[in-house]
Amino acid sequence: MKQAEVHYSGIETMKAPTLDDLKAASQTTVLCGLNPRTVQTLLAPATVVELEPGDALFRQGEPAAAFFIVIDGWVKLYRITPAGDEAVLHVLTKGESFAEAVAFAGGRYPATASAATNSRVVLIPAHHVVNCIREMPDIAIAMIASTSQHLHRLVQRVEQLSAQSGLQRVAEFLAALCPNMNGSCRISLPYDKSLIAGRLGLKPESLSRVFAKLRLVGVDVRASDVVVSEVAQLRSLIASDRIKARGGLNGKHRLAEDRSQHPLS
């Protein structure tokens, strides 16, 4: 499997962005607040990298040569622990940007980015970003705001891992994929189960056990195909699990009531 080089000029799959690519990039959080002329200037040297699953966009510790916007597919950010394991920080999809802070600060990538699925990513050279910031300071403000959002998301992830059960994390993950709030739906897992487990702070075998438990509330997972018989019940389970994690809103009586309503309690 071909690996993308960290230096953007050496990526063999690099292509010129289409008009749709540029439109999608301009609508991301980091750019949408800027005026159209500023966005056009910032995206002028942008290129597109096409990745296959497992291809590395950059590696932890390498000099930051660019920042990126996902146009299609899923890209995972992860660090390697001292034990040699992957610690998944985030899995990004269409419309999300990353590495903007290190790009304009001239640092090194704090994590590795690789494609979880076939992906299409817009790449903006770091030196161009720095030059644009010198001429248009509002770009720096937009990037600081985007970095703040990334930090807020990381805090939420830490809170999720420390305060929520594995069952709740999986239920929330599935509920977020459902297009409707009520009724039944059929969805596909966006990437492989081992990555889902890592993203949710679970071992693959623990994820399998949670999927088995969710059958009791009408969630049937077969390979990457998921059928949810009643989305509202799945969301209710998430709320019930929050109540139990906090010790109950109204004491033991409320907890007993929740157990009677949910067979997984």
Domains and CATH numbers, the chain: 8-161 (2.60.120.10), 164-261 (1.10.10.10)
Residue 104 has a pLDDT of 75
Q: Record the pTM.
A: 0.77
Residue 142 has a pLDDT of 77
| Mean pLDDT score across all residues of the chain | 83
Residue 124 has a pLDDT of 94
Label each residue of the chain as H, E or C. CCCCCCCHHHCCCEECCCHHHHHHHHCCHHHHCCCHHHHHHHCCCCEEEEECCCCEEECCCCECCEEEEEEECCEEEEEECCCCCEEEEEEECCCCEECHHHHHHCCECCCEEEECCCEEEEEEEHHHHHHHHHHCCHHHHHHHHHHHHHHHHHHHHHHHHHHCCHHHHHHHHHHHHCCCCCCCEEEECCCCHHHHHHHCCCCHHHHHHHHHHHHHHCEEEECCEEEECCHHHHHHHHHHHHHHHCCCCCHHHHHHHHHHHCCCC
pLDDT mean by block of 10 residues, the chain; 265 residues? 39 80 90 88 94 94 93 95 87 91 84 95 93 85 73 70 83 93 94 94 94 94 95 85 46 38 49
pLDDT, tens only, 146-192: 677 767 777 777 766 666 789 999 999 999 999 999 999 999 999 99
Residue 241 has a pLDDT of 54
pLDDT, tens only, 170-183: 999 999 999 999 99
- β-strand partners of 115: 75
The HSE-up count of residue 31 (CA atoms within 13 Å, CB side) is 26
Name the residue among 24, 14, 119 with its Cα closest to residue 74. 119
Residue 243 has a pLDDT of 45
Cα–Cα distance, 183 to 230 (Å, whole number)? 5
Residue 144 has a pLDDT of 74
